[in-house]
Amino acid sequence: MESEAEGTATGASGGEEESLLTPEDLSRRPRMVALLAFSTLLAMSAWFSTSAVRPALSLDRGYTSAELTWMAVAVPAGFAVGTLVVAFLNLPDIFRPQRVFFAGTVGAAVSTISLVPLEAVGLVIATQFTLGLFLAAVYPVGMKMLTGWYRRGRGLVLGIMIGALTLGSGLPHLSGSLFTENWEPTIVVAALATLAGGLLALVFIPEGPYAAPTARFRPGYALELVRGRATRLAIGGYLGHMWELYAMWTWVPLFLVEVVGSHSLFSGTFELAGLLAFAVFAAGAGGSVLAGLGSERWGRTRSASAAMIASGSVAVFVGFLPDTVAPLIVILVLFWGLAVVADSAQFSSAMSELAEPSYVGTALTLQTGLGFLLTIASIRLLPIVQEAEGWGLAFAMLAVGPALGTLAMLRLRQLPEAVRMCSGRR
């Protein structure tokens, strides 16, 4: 597998690549990136919709903290199952990815809006699981669509896309800070935005000039990725990153409530903790773009390692700081938000360059699915540790992931296959 992919990828990264594009393709590429980033921003806004209204749901429906935790875990659990199914069936490679993307947003929108009429906790947890299940056809498939427009510069354009995903994931926190009295509008807005993102991709984003031909059904390719040295290490780095990311995103908003209290701005609207939670995601969107720029200059492994070292360093001590230094904590959490997702696009870019071109969609989906399977454990474990030992140890526990992820990236950098990444900059 690796020798075949190496020959293809090495040839693709040569200087003659851009000459294969027509002037029309070159002029359309920035627009396609913008459209796909915006559609992803909208489509992924459903992910944290329930988490954003967690306090209101607790008051209105009486859900316990344990039940709300299982709702939070159900989304990545569904996503992990969905991505593994999509990967082993090669769906984004044997079907037009725009249609797969749209179908995923339809299911995700229905799952999101179902929270409004349904009250039984078991049914609500089930809808959160199906939400993640359908979003598995959105995020990794969107990355596959973007690789059809770029071979060189993927670190930057995927950084822009994941920055949009990050911002979209934070939108419910912004909406929730505004609708402090009623939680339903936040859910409705998230569902409509998700559906709008799917329609945008289906109608306005065509196949790119580098889109691989429709692949044959090859369920065993996912196992080949795990057996390959380079792809296995790329997955390992991503797993370290994911151990930290979604647990941080899920529980930092609650941490911020404890740090800054329940103050509101502008006569009861725009709750401060909600605005700060959104700012954490917004910082991550900027960090994704910055890391994308850095990766094109210094390489995938260096850029990803720097981001993991930065985020892990904050995780080690920020939870131990006393509330008397709340402004410092907020600043550190914002920096953590910038760094914690900055490396994400570089794992995806590396995988797209190391995998066989015809099965990039399968490779990205498998990598994503394994990462979200792991994040279920960290999301569930963090509140248990927090309740027993406090935020300090709970957040410090997350630093194990980026530490191991950095080791995987440094090992990948030493392999001869790494020359296929970032036009040889590894």
Tokens of 19: 């000459």
Task: Look at residue 387 and tell me whether its pLDDT is greater than 70.
Answer: yes
Residue 196: band (very low, low, confident or very high) from pLDDT cuts 50, 70, 90: very high
Q: Which amino acid is at 327?
A: P
**pLDDT given at position 2:** 40
Cα(24)–Cα(219) distance, rounded to whole angstroms? Answer: 36
Give the whole-angstrom CA distance, residue 55 versus residue 71.
13
What digits encode the pLDDT tens for the residues 263-281? Answer: 766 665 667 878 888 899 8
Q: What is the pLDDT of residue 315?
A: 96
Poorest-pLDDT segment among 4-8, 238-242, 408-412: 4-8
Give me the half-sphere count of Cα atoms (radius 13 Å) on the Cβ side of residue 328: 10
Given a cut of 50, whether residue 317 has pLDDT beyond it is yes
Domain ranges of the chain: 2-424
| Band (177; pLDDT cuts 50, 70, 90) | low
Q: Between 190 and 270, name the one with better pLDDT.
A: 190
Give the chain's mean pLDDT.
Answer: 82
Q: Which residues, listed in sequence order, are joined to residue 264 by a DSSP beta bridge?
A: 271
Mean pLDDT on 222-250: 86
Among 22-26, 249-253, 256-260, whose mean pLDDT is lowest? 22-26
Cα 242 to Cα 308: distance, rounded to the nearest angstrom: 11
pLDDT reported for residue 64: 86
**Alpha-carbon span 33 to 38, nearest angstrom:** 8
More reliable by pLDDT, 375 or 210: 375
User: What's the CA angle centered on 350, arms 129 and 13, to 5 degrees?
Assistant: 140
Residue 355, phi then psi, degrees to nearest 5: -85, 165
pLDDT for residue 407 is more than 80: yes
- CA-derived radius of gyration, the chain: 20
Residue 418 confidence (pLDDT) above 80: no
pLDDT for residue 70 is more than 50: yes
User: How does pLDDT run across 332-363, given as a tens digit for each residue?
Assistant: 999 999 999 988 888 888 888 887 777 777 78
Q: Which residues pair with 277 in a beta bridge?
A: none
pLDDT at 5 over 50: no
Q: pLDDT tens-digit profile of 284-315?
A: 988 888 888 877 788 888 888 999 999 999 99
- Backbone phi, then psi, for 40, in 5-degree steps? -70, -40
Question: Is 1 a residue whose pLDDT tops 80?
Answer: no
330: pLDDT strictly greater than 60: yes
Q: Which of 171, 139, 172, 138 is nearest to 158 (CA)?
A: 139
Q: What is the mean pLDDT of residues 367-379?
A: 87
Phi, psi of 264 (to 5 degrees): -125, 155
Q: Give me 31's structure tokens.
A: 């627009």
Distance (Å, rounded) from C-alpha 386 to C-alpha 383?
5
For the whole model, what pTM was predicted? 0.75
Of all residues in the chain, the percent with pLDDT exceeding 90 is 29
Q: Which of 36-45, 213-222, 236-245 has the highest mean pLDDT?
A: 236-245
Average pLDDT of span 228-239: 88
pLDDT tens for each residue of 10-51: 333 444 445 456 777 777 888 888 888 888 888 888 887 787
Give the pLDDT of residue 399.
96
Which letter does DSSP use for residue 390 in this model?
-
Give CA separation, 423 vs 235, 357, 417, 420, in Å: 20, 15, 12, 6
The whole-number pLDDT of residue 3 equals 38
Residue that wins the pLDDT comparison between 385 and 162: 385
CA angle 284, 335, 344 (to 5 degrees): 35
pLDDT, position 13: 40
Domain 2-424 falls in which CATH fold? Growth Hormone; Chain: A; (1.20.1250)
pLDDT computed for residue 327 by the predictor: 92
State whether residue 265 is helix, strand or coil.
Answer: strand
Beta-carbon count within 10 A of 13 CB: 18
CA angle 297, 44, 46 (to 5 degrees): 155
End-to-end Cα distance, the chain: 19
Backbone angles phi, psi at 384, to 5 degrees: -65, -45
The pLDDT tens digits of the residues spanning 72-119 come to: 889 888 988 888 787 777 776 777 888 889 999 999 999 999 988 888
Quote the tokens at residue 44. Answer: 């992924």
Residues 6+ apart with CB under 8 A from 363: 87, 221, 225, 231, 351, 352, 354, 355, 356
Collapsed DSSP state (helix, strand, coil) of residue 264 = strand
**DSSP string across 57-90:** HHHHH---HHHHHHHHHHHHHHHHHHHHHHHHTT
Phi-psi region of 261 (alpha: psi -120 to 50; beta: other; left: phi over 0): left
pLDDT score for 218? 63
Among candidate residues 259, 258, 256, 287, the one with its CA nearest the CA of residue 274: 256
* Mean pLDDT confidence for 308-331: 94
